[in-house]
Structure formats: structure tokens, C-alpha cells
Structure 1
Amino acid sequence: MNSLRARLLAATAVLLLAFIVLTGVALETAVSERADQAEHDRLQGLSYALLGSAEITDDGGFKLAPRVLPESDLTRPDSGLYALVLNEDGETVWRSPSLLDPVDMPSLPAVGEWQFMRIYPEKGTLITLSFGFRWVTDGGEDFRYTLVVAEDASTFIKQMQRFRGVLWALLSASALVLLIVELLILRWGLAPLRRLARNLSTLQAHEKRRIEGRYPDEIQPLVSNLNTMLSNDQARLTRYRNALGDLAHSLKTPMAVLRGLAEDQRLEESQRKPLRNQLARMNDILDYQLQKAAAAGKRSLTASISIAPIAEKLARALTKVYAEDGTRFRVHIDTGVKAPIDEGDLTELLGTLMDNAAKYGNGQVDVRAETRDGDLHMQIDDNGQGFGDGSTERLLERGVRADTNREGQGLGLAVAAEIVRSYTGEITLTNCENGGARVAIVLPAG
């Protein structure tokens, strides 16, 4: 999950779900307890009314006339409201006309205590309130009784189920609305980051030189630092190129004077030859450094460019250069292969290696490139004599040449290696299966 919005939305959804569940459980528990308390109070009031109208005979008989019952539902058979009195042995000594079937109580309260509970007879569920009491007759005898008042719980259960349905429906709708609002808030809050990403994409396409616009206080320092880095990057590259250009220009006149002295016939050959050699070395150094200056190197926010068009353009140009030799250039690169490299650097890199392959090959140069795991893999093959059996590492050094019979300064591979290393890439020199030379390059994606 790489999206900040997805992460924040997921975290908010989890917290909101936990809050909704806890709130629902708390409300349901509170309402259920309040309903139980209201039922308890109602049955307790009915119990007091029944006890106030009761009579006990001298032999312990419990009498309660139907006409004095406080609730009319107690007189209607199977009305849902019931009352009964049990003796100390748990036997029924009186029951209301509404109670048709006996009720078995799992336990009886002590004298003076109330017991609120649910029981589950064969027909549904009953809410019961029991009260244990003693009755002392005028003759001094006391009798132990338990008054049980019960009510059918079906109505109560339906009301609670309806309440739960409404409660969870409202909470679910509230959660959905809050999630939508949270999504809109996240979209609004992360809008500056999306704008920054668009500006960075514009920078990668080289349409702008800096990130424009004002950003929130949390992001503005990052934007300012990026702009500073981009400015310093461009200024450093410009100073580097200008300094080398100025140096080359400044040395032109002194080198011309020295070259004139090296050709002066008045000097002995033994004096002119060392002078020519040193001038050649100086010229090689200047060429090498100027080629390095032409390479931009890895820059911040470099755009990815297609490899195939540049390779094909170079192949057409070099085909004309080596037309007399009949050299063929074959490019095996899909149009979708891209890499984050400066176009000038890629042109310099491929141009140098393809020119070397044509110069030291035997009429055929193959250029391949593909993307594997995000990295660019390129190889330039020729069908020449190859690099031989010795170490090829020294060939990447300035001035070292594999074939001294051909003209050249030994700078091409060194410049190519400089460009590849500036992009933290790798360059290796090997031989092909057919014996020719192969230059393999890997440029990392990041």
C-alpha cells in the first residue's frame, strides 16, 4: 500500500469501524439495561400492589380475590402477565387466573430479597421478578412464601430487536457518510502533494527549471530545498563546462606557439621530437577533459528517454561514415525501452561505442538494449578480433588502446566509462560468442 491517501483512509476506516462498534455496543447495552430496569420497576410495583391486597389464613393459606387484582391482564387467561405464590417447599399455593400452565422456578430468593431473571419454559421466554417474604398470623405462626410476577418477553424482545436494527442501520449510514467526508478531506488535504508531483513531472520533462507556486508550511521547506538543489545542480554543471572551455581557449595560443617551435627547422630533431610528444599529450588531455565536460552526468529529476530512436539515428549516420568499409549497423531495441539519462550523454555514449565497434570490427555492429527489473541493459557487439585474453580493465583507462595499429587516442572507452559511472552504472568488456568484442552496460533505474 504505497498511496498515502489509501493508508490514511484505511487507518481512518479501522478507527471509525472500532468507534462505531464500541458506540453501538455501549448504546445497546445501556438501552437494554434501562429497559430491564424499567421492567423491574414495573413488576416490583405490581408485586407491592399484590402484597397489599393479599390475605393469609390461620392455617397458612394465601388468598387473593380476582376482583382485587391490580391489573386486569392478571384475570384474562394467557394474557402474558402472570402472578403466583410458592410456599417454602416451592409448591404453588396461589396463581392468577391468567396463568394456565405451572411455572418452574430454577431458584428462589431469600426472605426480603428480590430476584430478577429470565426463564425459558416451553412457550417462549418469561421475565420474572421474585420476592421472598414471611407472614406472621395473629396466632403467632409465621409462614415462608415467594411471590413471583412474570410477563411474556416476546413484546420486549421484539422492541429490542427493532431498536437494534434501527441503531445499527443509523450507525452504518453514519459511518458511510463519515468515510465519504473523510475521503473528501483527504483529497483536499493531499492536493498540495499532488500539485507538487505534477510540477516534478514537468521538471522531468524539462519544461521548467524550478518548482513554481506556494505550498503549505509543512511542504514549503521541501520545495525550497528542491529548488535550491536544482539551481546548484545546473550552476555547477555550467561552471564546470565553462571552466574547461575557458581553459582550452586559453591554451590555444601557447600551444600554437609551441607547435610552431616543434616544427622549426632550426632546432635539432632530438629537441623537436620530445616537444612534439609533450604537445600530443597535452592535446589528448584537453580532448579528454572537453569530452567529459560535454557529458551532463546524472542530474536531479532526469526524464526517461527512448533508446531506439537515438541508436537508429547514430546507426544511419555511421553507416555513411563507414560506407567504403561496407559496415552494417543492426539495432535490436524495442520502442518501449527507456532510461533516465540525459539525451546528450546517451548520444555521446552510444556514438563512441558504436564508432569504436565499427572501427575495430569486421563490417558488422549489433546494438541491443532491454529493460530488466527497471534497469537498462545495453550491449554493443562487433565481429572483429575482440579484446584478447588479457585483462580488459585497463582499456577503460584514458590513453590505453587495445589495437595500436589503428589511429586513435585511446579516449573513447574512457569517456564512455566516465559517463556510465556518472550514472552509478557498470560497464564491462568481454568477447562475443563469435569472438568479437562486446561492451555491456547496466544503468540502474534509480
Structure 2
Amino acid sequence: MLNSLRARLMLLTTLLLAVLMLGIGVWLYQSFYYAQVNGLQERLRLHSYSLLALADYRSGKLWVPDYLPEERFNHTGSGLYAQILDASDQIVWRSLSAKELPPVSGSNAAPGEWRYSFARMQGEEYMIARLGVNWGNAGNNNPQFNLLMIENLHDFNRQLIDYRNSMDYALLTFALLLIVMQLLILRWGLAPLRRVSHDLEKLQRGEQADLTGEYPRELQPLTTNLNQLLQSERAQRERYRNMLADLSHSLKTPLAVMSGMVHQPQISDDDRQELERQINTMSERIRFQLQRAVSQAQSFSLQKVAVKPVAESLLGVMKKVYADKHLTLQLVADDDVFFLGDDNDLTEIIGNLLDNACKYGRRQVLISAHNTLSGWQLCVEDDGPGVAEEQHEHVLQRGVRLDTMTAGQGLGLALVSDILALYDARLSIRESLLGGACFILEFENQGAL
């Protein structure tokens, strides 16, 4: 999963988003909580001032009406309560709603001082606002009282829970929308990388020679360097081919001279046969090594080569080479079978197998090519003596020939095996329905393109 750029970016941004949403949620909840607390304290202060406006201190006694304008003070269990305590913390007055409320403990507030606290009584939570009051006329002892405003926090806590649920739902919805937007942004932002990957696949399939798409500025150095690398590789490969061609030409001239000297009359028949055999051996080995060197210089950008035209061309050559054998050469191939690689490699593969089939076949040679589920398959069959099952592996080794009477060095199949190894292809041998050998080549990941 972490090998994917999209997965990495999604994981990192999702974690950051989760932390961000958590921080925003805590901040919003704390802000709402303190705003509610401040609002509750303000309401309790207003109730206190209203009560003080109605209260009076006469003849050494505090007088407060039983019924107050705020109806909640007049009903038991309403959730809003008022009490007045003297300096000794004794209740001197309480509202009708506070008849069943137990005494509230706490330190007295000085005159004019506000004190706020939370308390839990009878399984309920309350907020208590305590105000110190000094009643009396000038020259008197000015008795001090504490006015307590008490409110049940049941509705307050319910508001907090409702707000938190609404906030959680809103933040979750917002986070999901951000994740969807993030996916869309990543898909749009990574599209150039997918386009480069797609173009590279087309490059490997031989559908194009260079990266020619429109790419963002950030990717242009990469694509430019890749194109330069491909061009350099093709130029080097061409130089390599030219050097090998020059080497082949320089070797063929001395061999041609030696071949001409073989027929001079002063050379005995035995020496002549030995010279011809050695010259043929040198020619075969030079051709083998040159072709092998060319095949191993594989290019990154492969060509898309149709198999059927190459096979048809080689069949025409074999009809001329083996015209004296009067062979029936047949080709059964689909038009949409393609080889991804160098056309010279395909020519060398089919040419060697066809040459062997025509060399050992008696009357008939069949070549077939068709697509499979995983790639494509080539079969070359003949009606010759065939290859014994115990010799299947042995015959593919370099220099091995089961028939020493036929000209050759036993290098053709070895060259085919070396080329096939470069393309991760498989070569197997079985008995042909024609009676001889059937050589089967299987190329994977090279189907109808």
C-alpha cells in the first residue's frame, strides 16, 4: 500500500485532517461551553438584581415578598432557586421553589463580591452564584447577608450534548467532503504521472518511439532525459550493429580467399575436405557469435513486429533453398499476432527453426502462430525422424547435433535459446502430428495488441 504515491498522500492528509478536525472540535466545544457558562452567570446576576430591588431591611429584619415576578421561583422543583444567608451561614429567606433544596455550603462572599461555583446535590448538578450584600442605614451596624442564586444544570448539560452531537455530525460530514475533494484533487494532480506511465507502456509495446505527450513543467526534465536516453541507446545500438557488420565483412574476405585456395590442384582430397570443414565451422561460429551479440544488445523501446509477414518471407526463402527436396511448406497464422522486440531477432528465431525443419523434413513442414490467453505461441513442425524424448533437453545445448551426417555445427537451436532467454520466452519440443518434431515457442505478455 505504501508503495503507492496516492496511498501515501491519502494516508498523510487523512491523518492531518483527523488531527485538524479534532482540534477544531475541541476549540468549538470549549468556546460554546464557556459562552453558555457566561450566559448562565449573567442570567443569575440579573435574577439577583431583580430580587434585591424587591427586598428591604426594616427594623432589624429582612423583608422579601413570597412571590416573585420570575415564576420559576414560585414553583417547587422548577430548577431555579434563591436563598439569603446571614453572616453565620443560616438561611433567613428562600424562595418557594427552594423549600426542598438542602442547605448549600461554601464560604461567604464579601459585600459586592460575586462568587460562582458548581455543586452536586441529591444527584443533580447546580451552578451557584453568591453575592455579598450589606443592608442598613448610616450609623447602624450594617448587617451582611449572602444572596444565593442556584440553577439546575440539567437543561444546560442537555444543550451541551445537543451541540456536541450536532458539531460532531457537521465536522464528520465536512471531513468526508474534504476527503472526497482530496481524492478528486489527487486524481487530477497525479494524472500526468499516469500519462507518463501509460506512454512508457506504449513505448515498451513498440507503439511509439519517444515520450511525445504534453507534460507539466515538473515532469519535463524527466521525460526529456528519458527521450535523450532512448535516442542515445538507439544510436549506440546502431553503431554496434555497424561495427559488427564491418567485422563480419572483414572476416568474410579472408574466409572467401581460403575457400578459393581449397580448390587448388596441389592440395590433396583429404586436406581439401578438412579445410572445407574447418572453413564451414569458422563461418558458422562467426555468424552465431555476431548474431548473438546483436541480439543481446536489447533496446528498451521494442518494436511491434507482425509475425505472419516475417514467416511468409522466410517460407519463400526456404522454398528456394530446399527446392530440390520438393517440400510442402504451410503457414497457419493469425493476422493479429505480434512480436515485441527486434525484427532481426524474430527473423533469426523463425529462420533457424524453419531451416532445421526443412533440413530434416521429408515432405511436409508446417508453421503456425496464434494468440493465447497469456501471449502468443509459435509452432514449427516437420515429418522428419523427430527427436527422442530423452534428447529434448540435450538437443538444445550449444554444439550438440543428433545427426552428424547433415551439414551444420549445432549452433542454430542454441542461438534460438539465447534469444528467447532475452524475452523470457520458452522453447519446448514434442512429437508432431506430422510424425516428426514440433518445436513450440511460448511468448507471455505479448498478445494481440
TM-score, with structure 2 as normaliser:
0.69
Structure 1 residue 347 displacement after superposition: 4.6
Q: Is the 8 A contact 2:134 2:145 kept in 1?
A: yes
Aligned to 1:232: 232
Aligned residue in 1 for 2:258: 258
2:75 corresponds to which of 77, 99, 105? 77
> Would you say how many aligned residue pairs link Structure 1 and Structure 2?
429
Residue 27 of structure 1, CA deviation: 0.8
C-alpha distance in structure 2 between counterparts of 1:263 and 1:32, whole Å: 114
The answer as to whether partners of 1:432 and 1:438 remain within 8 angstroms in 2 is: yes
CA contact (8 A) 1:375 1:442 kept: yes
What amino acid does structure 2 have at the position aligned with 1:227?
Answer: N
Secondary structure at 1:231 match in 2: helix
Deviation at 1:32, TM superposition (A): 1.1
Q: 1:123-272 to 2 correspondence within 5 Å? A: 127-129=126-128, 131=130, 147-151=148-152, 153-154=154-155, 156=156, 160=160, 163-164=163-164, 167-168=167-168, 171=171, 174-175=174-175, 178-179=178-179, 182-183=182-183, 185-212=185-212, 215=215, 218-272=218-272
- Alignment counterpart, residue 109 of structure 1, candidates 106, 111, 116: 106
Return the letter of the residue paired with 1:4. Answer: L
Cα distance between partner residues in 2 of 1:380 and 1:359:
13
Distance 1:173 1:74, change over 3 A: closer
**Alignment partners' CA distance in 2, 1:317 and 1:120:** 108
2:95 is matched with 96
Q: How far is the alpha carbon of 1:263 from its aligned partner?
A: 0.9
Q: 1:316 to 1:89 in 2, by over 3 A?
A: farther
Query: What aligned pairs does 1:42-441 form with structure 2 within 5 A after superposition?
Result: 42-43=43-44, 46-47=47-48, 53=55, 64-66=64-66, 72-73=70-71, 75-77=73-75, 81-84=80-83, 94-97=93-96, 99=97, 102-103=100-101, 108-112=105-109, 114-117=116-119, 127-129=126-128, 131=130, 147-151=148-152, 153-154=154-155, 156=156, 160=160, 163-164=163-164, 167-168=167-168, 171=171, 174-175=174-175, 178-179=178-179, 182-183=182-183, 185-212=185-212, 215=215, 218-292=218-292, 295=295, 298-302=298-302, 324=326, 340-353=340-353, 355-357=355-357, 359-360=359-360, 384-387=385-388, 389=390, 392=393, 395-397=396-398, 399-423=399-423, 425=424
CA contact (8 A) 1:66 1:75 kept: no
Q: Is the 8 A contact 2:375 2:445 kept in 1?
A: yes
Q: CA deviation at 1:310?
A: 7.4
Which residue identity is paired with 2:28? L
**Match of 1:8, as an amino acid?**
L
Equivalent residue letter for 2:241? R
The change in CA–CA distance for 1:306 and 1:262 in structure 2 (over 3 A counts) is closer
| Residues 81 and 98 in structure 2, CA contact (< 8 A), matched pair in contact too | no
Q: How far off its partner does 1:328 sit?
A: 7.5
1:345/1:258 CA distance change after superposition, 3 Å: closer
What SS class does the counterpart of residue 101 from structure 2 fall into? Answer: coil
Paired with 1:417 and 1:100, the residues of 2 have a C-alpha distance of: 103
Listed one character per residue, the Cα deviations across residues 158-199 of structure 1 (whole Å, up to 9, x for unaligned) are 655665566456545654554465445434533432442343
Residues 136, 143 of structure 1: 8 Å contact kept:
yes
**CA drift at 1:442:** 6.6
Counterpart residue identity of residue 109, structure 1: G
Which letter maps to 1:116? F
**What amino acid does structure 1 have at the position aligned with 2:82?**
A
Partner SS state of residue 406, structure 2: coil
- Hey, what's the Cα distance between the residues in 2 that align with 1:192 and 1:337? 31
Contact 2:206 2:340 survives alignment (8 Å):
no
Give the C-alpha shift of residue 413 in structure 1: 0.4
Residue 380 and residue 34 in structure 1: after superposition, are their counterparts in 2 closer, same or farther (change >3 A)?
Answer: farther
* Alpha-carbon displacement from aligned partner over 1:84-119 (angstroms, at most 9, x marks no partner): 46899999764323x2772357x7434557422466
Shift of the 430–213 alpha-carbon distance from structure 1 to 2, 3 Å rule, reads closer
Q: In structure 2, what residue type is equivalent to 1:128?
A: M
Alignment correspondent of 2:112: none
Q: Secondary structure at the match of 1:236?
A: helix
Q: Tell me by how many angstroms 1:284 deviates.
A: 1.3
Calculate percent identity across the aligned residue pairs: 30
User: Which SS does the other structure have where 1:82 is aligned?
Assistant: strand
Give the superposition deviation at 1:260. 1.9
Residues 130 and 147 of structure 2 are in contact (CA less than 8 Å); yes or no, is this contact kept in structure 1?
Answer: yes
Structure 2: how far apart are the matches of 1:287 and 1:319?
Answer: 18
2:401 alignment partner, SS class: coil
- Provide the rounded CA distance (Å) in 2 between the counterparts of 1:261 and 1:75: 135
> 5+ residue gaps in structure 1?
none
1:43-83 C-alpha deviation (Å, 9 max, x unpaired): 2564577579476999xx9853347x6x6345553665332
Q: What's the RMSD between the two structures over aligned residues? A: 5.4
SS of 1:418's equivalent in the other structure is helix
User: 3-state SS of the aligned residue for 2:100?
Assistant: coil
Structure 2 counterpart SS, 1:405: coil
TM-score, length-normalised on structure 1? 0.69
CA distance in structure 2 between the partners assigned to 1:228 and 1:410 by the alignment: 41
Structure 1 residues 381 and 35, CA gap change in structure 2 (3 angstroms): farther
1:200-233 deviation per Cα after TM superposition (whole angstroms, max 9, x unaligned): 2443354543323675565344323322321232
